[in-house]
Amino acid sequence: MSHSIASGLIERGWDGPWYRVRTERFQASFLPDAGEDLDDVCNVDALVTLNDGSGWSATMFTVAEVERLMKLWASTGEALAGRYFWVSNGLIVRDPGIESMTEVIAGLIENGELSDIFQRVSSA
């Protein structure tokens, strides 16, 4: 099943350092690095606000980014020389880009899994 957000998309764009995507069901706010191509984002903090006012956060990583970090840490000694990867509110996705990550968020909401994966940061 595809979780395309195109039909429910209301608006998207920059709000200071945040890139926001608003749909009929939620708003996703991403904090990419300055100048980063939005189609190439592979490691980003995300805040999701549902229509009930609740807020949820996670750091989203691609599989390739996790591999890159572990290889880097193998040479720097971090995380037992890259032998593990851990983050308390992390979500690993297959594909890079804000569009793809927003589609994952839409799917998690549709399947009722957002609250199992993202960390609650506020409530209505």
Q: Confirm whether 35 is domain-assigned.
A: yes
Overall domain count for the chain? 1
Q: Confirm whether 102 is domain-assigned.
A: yes
**Could you read off the pLDDT of 41-92 as tens digits, one per residue?**
999 999 999 999 999 999 999 999 999 999 999 999 999 999 999 998 999 9
Q: What is the structure's pLDDT at 3? A: 53
Q: Confirm whether 87 is domain-assigned.
A: yes
**Could you read off the pLDDT of 29-47 as tens digits, one per residue?**
999 998 999 999 999 999 9
- The DSSP secondary-structure symbol of 44 reads E
What's the residue count for the chain?
124
Q: Confirm whether 1 is domain-assigned.
A: no
Q: Which residue range forms the structural domain that includes residue 51?
A: 6-122
Q: Confirm whether 36 is domain-assigned.
A: yes
Q: Confirm whether 98 is domain-assigned.
A: yes
Residue 5 C-alpha from the chain's centroid: 15
Q: Between residues 58 and 124, which one has the greater pLDDT?
A: 58
Q: Confirm whether 76 is domain-assigned.
A: yes
Q: Confirm whether 92 is domain-assigned.
A: yes
30: Cβ contacts below 8 Å, ≥ 6 apart: 18, 19, 20, 21, 41, 44, 45, 46, 98, 101
Q: What is the structure's pLDDT at 11? A: 93
